[in-house]
Structure 1
């Protein structure tokens, strides 16, 4: 299974010229078990038991969206997002007179 990591940078608009504030939101996206209902056509409910998404190809090609274990599209797999906010606290520049 392949984990994805997305980094979003947020700049603090209220920072003064001597202070630098920045915060990053780090999101790890993981695709879990397949939730496709294979018996929907006959009015039932049955899943295939695929425990995690495994892409059939490399990132950037069509195979990256198809599961090697069950053959379903990635959208049928449960999406798990872990979000973490990382803050680089302000650094004050010292203004001294010489």
Structure 2
């Protein structure tokens, strides 16, 4: 994976969508990990649709249940262990 976007803030979720589009145009292989308030960005249907095209998109299951209880998660549920593995696979990490 070329770039892992680590989304930990609500504002980061808003920034991710245009970054995913730009990375796609550049031919980058990308992934995303959502934690803490960053999970709120997954309510954006455009972002959720764009994440289908990435190599891997994972949400911290604890954060999902804390901030969006009762909603269906549009990406893979994981843990901070998943986060560590993704960071190890990425050539670059961009924290949002």
**Which structure's CA Rg is the greater one?**
1
Range into which the TM-score falls when normalised by the shorter chain: under 0.3
TM superposition score normalised by structure 1: 0.22
TM superposition score normalised by structure 2: 0.22
Greater fraction of residues in helix: 2
Greater fraction of residues in strand: 1
